[in-house]
Amino acid sequence: MKKSSNRVLMLLENQPYPQDHRVRREAVALVREGYRVSVICPATGAQACHEVVDDVRVHRFCAPPRATGFLGYLWEYGYCTVMSFFLSLRVCWQEGFDVVHAHNPPDTFVFIGAFYKIFGKYFVFDHHDLSPEMYRARFANSGSKIVYKALILLERLTCRFADHIIATNESYKKIEIDRHNVPAECITVVRNGVEPPPDRPRPTESGLRRKGKTIIGYLGVMGFQDGMDHLIRALHHLRYDLDRRDFYCVLMGDGDAKASVTKLTRELRLNEHIWFPGLVHGDRLVRYLSAADICVDPDPGCEYNDCSTMIKIMEYMAYAKPIVAFDLRENRVTAGGGAIYVKPNDELAFARALAELMDDPAKRVAMGMLGRHRIETELAWRYSIPNLLGAYRKVLRQPVVAEPRAIPRRNPVRPPTVRSGQAGM
């Protein structure tokens, strides 16, 4: 491990640590480079208040009840910001830190970053989500212009106070430049990335395979902006309009929209075709994803989804799974030829794309290999680490050194030859 006196305090609210994969990967990458990293986050279940995970010092506070509406989110974000601030005082006294690295949401972490800038600390804003656009996506019919403008203001304050901004993709970088006049040299794109499983046969869930049907898989958050209702209605078209009975859909995940989605599943008479196993991790995740024949991303067309990189798409690609998704800008940037893209929010077209892949196993294999090849050669997390370290060198004004390029694994999956039009391009 390289020697360094640089100390980083990460603020995280959206998920606990180490369950938030992006934050965990960033923290571990910095630790391996010699940084001392502390993380403040909410606790879930029986997690300890203080522990060390992979040399990362984790400090947790009791998580608030899950938010169910705007007032719930206001309480959650306010509470978490206050608790994070008080814990940061303890960390500052006991361990010290040189950089406050805030992962949004919420954008209220700017007040903690601004406070410590008074004492000579640096403030890094890791822009995970477009909070104003997310608000519009979640509360489209009941949203307030005042709240939207307040979120824009918080985002602008965060960008202005930040010594450097880490953006998850080029779309976010463009918004930071256009909406908040941030100089391009003050932004570094550190894409989300996955750690692909070894390229060898993996165990599958035998119970799913014994059904003798095409297995359709979904992995991820089930929020109101994630389009789960679109997916259920697309599966209804697949079953009752296209008269397909030979499919079984496994929806892995949880979120505040799950209750309404399960209710819709019952109302549309799809219980025998859909299973909700809940949150899936570890070996179960490997078995379930390996058993899937087709994976889906039903994120609907809106400004937030069009600009956001969906990690679940890269998870599917890492497992060499063909994808059906709505035609959104960042979906194409990520999946390339590994997905069939249909008109945003067109549920019947989504069902027809599923039926097309169900009837063409060779095309499924070809698309899956294209996706896996993109992960191996471009999109794995190891390709993002040099950008993260480069951002920190800029913040801490360290000498610029030649950063070795990430080296692809030996014998990466070779992309197959796909006839024009096969992959929905």
Q: What is the pLDDT of residues 333-375, one digit of tens each?
A: 999 999 999 999 999 999 999 999 999 999 999 999 999 999 9
In this structure, the answer to whether residues 45 and 181 fall within a common structural domain is yes
Number of domains in the chain: 2
- Per residue in 168-225, pLDDT (tens digit) is 999 999 999 999 999 999 999 999 999 888 766 677 777 887 788 999 999 999 988 8
Domain membership of residue 176 (yes or no) is yes
**Tokens 């035609």 -> residue:** 327
In this structure, the answer to whether residues 171 and 219 fall within a common structural domain is no
In this structure, the answer to whether residues 17 and 100 fall within a common structural domain is yes
The DSSP annotation for 92-144 comes to HHHT--SEEEEESSPGGGHHHHHHHHTTT-EEEEEE---HHHHHHHHSTTT--
In this structure, the answer to whether residues 158 and 210 fall within a common structural domain is no
**CATH code for the domain of 317:** 3.40.50.2000
Domain membership of residue 16 (yes or no) is yes
In this structure, the answer to whether residues 113 and 228 fall within a common structural domain is no
- Dihedral of the CA atoms 232, 221, 206, 246 (nearest 10)? 10
Domain membership of residue 161 (yes or no) is yes
Q: How many angstroms separate the CA atoms of 224 and 217, rounded?
A: 19
In this structure, the answer to whether residues 140 and 215 fall within a common structural domain is no
Measured over the CA atoms of residue 87, residue 190, residue 180 and residue 182, the dihedral's sign is positive
- Per residue in 287-319, pLDDT (tens digit) is 999 999 999 999 999 999 999 999 999 999 999
In this structure, the answer to whether residues 30 and 150 fall within a common structural domain is yes
Domain membership of residue 388 (yes or no) is yes
Q: Label residue 143 exposed, middle or buried (CB < 10 Å: 0-12, 13-18, 19+).
A: middle
In this structure, the answer to whether residues 48 and 136 fall within a common structural domain is yes
Its domain, for residue 70, covers 7-193+380-395
Peptide bond into 322 cis (omega under 30): no
In this structure, the answer to whether residues 145 and 216 fall within a common structural domain is no
Q: How many angstroms separate the CA atoms of 218 and 143, rounded?
A: 28
In this structure, the answer to whether residues 164 and 281 fall within a common structural domain is no
Report yes or no: 194 and 311 within 8 Å, Cβ to Cβ.
yes
In this structure, the answer to whether residues 336 and 294 fall within a common structural domain is yes
Report yes or no: 215 and 253 within 8 Å, Cβ to Cβ.
no
